[in-house]
Amino acid sequence: MVTLYEEFDKTKIAALPQVQFSGRIVVVTTIGSVRRAIEFLSRHPILGIDTETRPSFKKGTNHKVSLLQLATRDMCFLFRLNKIGLPDKLLELLADKRQLKVGLSLKDDRHMLHERASFDEGRFIDLQDYVRQFGIMDMSLQKLFANVFGLRISKGAQLSNWEAPVLTERQKRYAATDAWACVLLYQRLEELRHTGDYRLISRVSMDRMQEQVVKDLVNQLAWSRKDNN
């Protein structure tokens, strides 16, 4: 029986074992390599999707989306949109209504992609909406992954320069991990939805459990003092 939480305790995330994508990462920077990437990705029924944008630290300065990540369970393609834009083949993949793309906070990602090029939207699932059927209220990818798998995803490279001439290994792993994690979350939750082999601990139940632990500790201390006297 898998335990899920209505809201995962954020203070516990730092103590969890860290996980990152360990599969193959392909950085796509030419139109020719886009075609080859799409040929591979089109053969998979489910893809994880995410985007990265160069952060702006100056008021009034905004940047277009720099990177589009599309991942399977063992391979991730990083499309450098600041170099290649949104080619037709990539737009066709995004518009495909048979293939499922799973992400988080997809409204923002799709808005940013539409700023580069308009396209008909295919079949998307936003994990923020999907997890509500389980009673989960967590909205961040890091909390959701900790909730479902008991593992920590690092967010350390989030505010790095996604328009740098060459992406660092740290940036590539971070970007690939976010898209890959969406695939794992969806497939695991779909499995639990079909089997029903999970229980949800509500925030109220968690508070009561913590209160009981405190009471038990207080009682133990009280008995210990009586014994010493």
- pLDDT digits (tens), the chain, 229 positions: 999 999 999 999 999 999 999 999 999 999 999 999 999 999 999 999 999 999 876 776 788 999 999 999 999 999 999 999 999 999 999 999 999 999 999 999 999 999 999 999 999 999 999 999 999 999 999 999 999 999 999 987 787 899 999 999 999 999 999 999 999 999 999 999 999 999 999 976 555 555 544 455 545 665 666 666 6
Parse the chain into domains and list their residue ranges.
10-197
Helices 141-149 and 169-195: angle between axes, nearest 10 degrees: 50
Pairing of strands 2-5, 198-201: parallel
CATH topology of domain 10-197: Nucleotidyltransferase; domain 5 (3.30.420)
In the prediction, which pLDDT does 228 show? 64
Chain CA centroid to CA 226, Å: 52
Sign of CA dihedral 156, 33, 180, 119: positive
In the prediction, which pLDDT does 61 show? 72
In the prediction, which pLDDT does 212 show? 47
In the prediction, which pLDDT does 217 show? 56
